[in-house]
Copies of this chain bind each other. A is one copy, B any other.
Amino acid sequence: MFYFRCRKTGREYDIKEPRWQSEDGGLLDIIREKPLQSLDLQGDRPGLWKYRNAIPLEKDENILSFGEEKTPLIPFQYAGRDIWAKLEYFFVTGSFKDRGAAVLISKIKELGIERVVEDSSGNAGGSIAAYCAAAGIGCDIYVSEQASPAKLTQIAAYGARIHKIPGSRTNVTKAVMEAAKKQFYASHYWNPFFFEGTKTLAFELWEQLKGNVPDTLVLQAGHGTLIIGAWKGFTELKEAGLINKIPRIIAVQPVMCSPLYNRFYSVTDAQECVSGKTITEGIDIADPPRLDQLCDILKETGGGVIRVEDASVVKAMISAARKGLYIEPAAASVFAAVEQLQTKPDEKVVVTLTGHGLKATHRFQELL
């Protein structure tokens, strides 16, 4: 019912293979043999497993879950505009990355793999480590030296082995690629099972909006796992005839590191992106491998990229906290983007708040 397809060559692979890239080193997509027919809501399963019939996992016994319900969607005012905030940090680790990790690690459990490697600026590492802990799977997490102390401590507590790599985020990527030659790579951006988890964001929004979809989604873009997931989920809903349009997707990147912006708008004289210079660490990725895919999605949905300055992110962090939402910098970046967003009257805008403020205590300590 599902198979892998290489984005580079189009070559197909059995979904049962323990595989995170193609034999040609290409990125993989997961393709449904026939479109989703319906979304059977299984109300007795909590959270994203409610959409079990849309998720490519063979056996129920491999389902990993901490019992989370759907994340809150609340009306919120920012910069004088009425928008909706989806509190995507309502997961066991405090980050939306759990959506992807829940499905990816369940699949890795199904494959019988006993130890994995992963690289992360902090949140993905925490999510992979937590689900590996729940599954009894060992893991090695490669992180940059700049990762937040709260995130590093959390990853270590789950029992993961942490490898701190000096220098830029690119060095971390190199180190994990080397490690991935020996151990299975539970990558949140290479392995497409991760998007089978993040796509449930779309299903939840559809359910919470009672069968409607937002006009515009404003989403953080580092590796773009939330964008790919959201697009995939809405596409499946459309194929199933449950909705008739896919929301416009606006990606948010830091001015200091905005490779998607540069690619999407064909900025030829852009400075080289270097990570480690912005406070929005979760989206501080200089060379995300799925850039082309992300550009295709933005184009298809009529979206674009908004770049935000750290100063406006800081303003958003404080401003959100003063209304009761304590969120980390990358999460707050969407509010900074809303200030620049052009909308039509009555447009329904949803932003995702991706990580809890408790993950960025050191940042708030610097600010307050």
Contacts and interface: CB of A to CB of B under 8 A. Distances in A.
Interface of A: 46, 65-70, 72-74, 87, 90, 92-94, 130-131, 133-134, 149-150, 153-154, 156-159, 317-318, 321-326, 356-359, 361, 364-365, 368
Contacts of A46: 72
A326 B365 CA distance: 22
Nearest to A133: B324
A321 B129 CA distance: 10
A317 B153 CA distance: 13
A178 to B, nearest CB: 26
25 contacts: A66-B74, A67-B72, A67-B73, A68-B72, A68-B90, A69-B70, A87-B92, A92-B325, A94-B358, A133-B322, A133-B323, A133-B324, A149-B361, A150-B361, A153-B364, A153-B368, A154-B357, A156-B368, A157-B321, A158-B321, A158-B324, A159-B322, A356-B358, A358-B361, A361-B361
Given A87-B92, A149-B365, A150-B358, 18 more contacts: A66-B325, A67-B74, A68-B72, A69-B69, A69-B72, A92-B324, A92-B325, A92-B326, A93-B326, A133-B321, A133-B324, A134-B324, A150-B150, A153-B364, A154-B326, A158-B321, A158-B326, A159-B322
B318 A157 contact: yes
Contacts of A322: 133, 158-159
A94 B157 contact: no
Contacts of A361: 149-150, 153-154, 358, 361
Contacts of A131: 324
Nearest to A90: B90
Nearest to A358: B358
Given A150-B361, A358-B356, A361-B361, A67 B93 contact: no
A18 B149 CA distance: 43
Contacts of A325: 66, 92
Contacts of A156: 364, 368
A212 to B, nearest CB: 16
A150 B365 CA distance: 9
Nearest to A159: B322
Contacts of A74: 65-67
A326 B359 CA distance: 13
Nearest to A367: B157
Contact of A157 (B65, B92, B364): B364
Sort A-B residue pairs by CB-CB distance and give the 4 closest, nearest first: A67-B72, A69-B69, A358-B358, A134-B324
A130 B358 contact: no
A69 B87 CA distance: 11
A143 B337 CA distance: 36
A159 to B, nearest CB: 5
A153 B324 contact: no
A351 to B, nearest CB: 14
